[in-house]
Amino acid sequence: MSELTTIARPYAQAAFDYAVENKTIAQWQEMLFFAGEVSKDATIKSVLTGSVASEKLAEIFIGVCGEQLDQHGQNLIKVLADNRRLQVLPDISVLFNQLKADFDKEIDVEVTSAVKLNKKQQTAIGASLEKRLARKVKLSCSVDPELVAGVLIKAGDTVIDGSFRSKLNRLSDALQA
């Protein structure tokens, strides 16, 4: 997967730069999502891995996508087909969305707690994280009783482990040392 991400990164960056320049970010997001979903289809996957000529491959793919792709989206498909990279479209879509989130100064945050958080707690955590990360925060909350108490917060590469389970593990390690 990381290899596909590495391959997809320059395409996503180029598409995003073009979309920003032309103020068509939302349209590109939709096109890339749709094309990514098409490339995941079992029938299309078999065509992508087959020995079809790149021009024919692009033609088939654009035909399946129909009016969902504008001229610039079709050009991206042609470039990807020429380079045998159509299978990375889902990764391009994900990376494009990450670039948009960075551009909009937004971040998705996973909050795992031992018990269900109420709205007041979620608001307090969200406000604190927005202040700390200097971004708009979109919380995604889940429950894991194994944490015993506290929360585990994941925001991109940042992990804040305030769970009681983690504290017990650190205390156990310290006592055993």
**How confident is the model over 69-103, as pLDDT tens digits?**
888 888 888 888 888 888 888 999 999 988 988 88
Q: Which of 101, 118, 134 is the last residue before a domain boundary?
A: 101
Q: How far apart are CA 84 and CA 20, in angstroms?
A: 26
Q: How far apart are CA 159 and CA 5, in angstroms?
A: 22
In this structure, the answer to whether residues 127 and 88 fall within a common structural domain is: no
In this structure, the answer to whether residues 61 and 141 fall within a common structural domain is: no
Q: Which of 42, 93, 48 is nearest to 68 (CA)?
A: 93
Q: Which of 101, 127, 154 is the last residue before a domain boundary?
A: 101
Q: How far apart are CA 164 and CA 60, in angstroms?
A: 55
Q: Which two tokens stand for residue 56?
A: 């024919």
In this structure, the answer to whether residues 85 and 121 fall within a common structural domain is: no
pLDDT at residue 17, rounded to an integer: 92
In this structure, the answer to whether residues 121 and 91 fall within a common structural domain is: no
Residue 127 is part of which domain span?
A: 105-176
The yes-or-no verdict on residue 7 having pLDDT over 60 is: yes
Q: Which of 101, 118, 137 is the last residue before a domain boundary?
A: 101
What's the CATH number where 144 sits?
Answer: 3.40.30
- Domain count of the chain? 2
Cα 62 to chain centroid, rounded:
24
pLDDT at residue 161, rounded to an integer: 83
In this structure, the answer to whether residues 121 and 84 fall within a common structural domain is: no
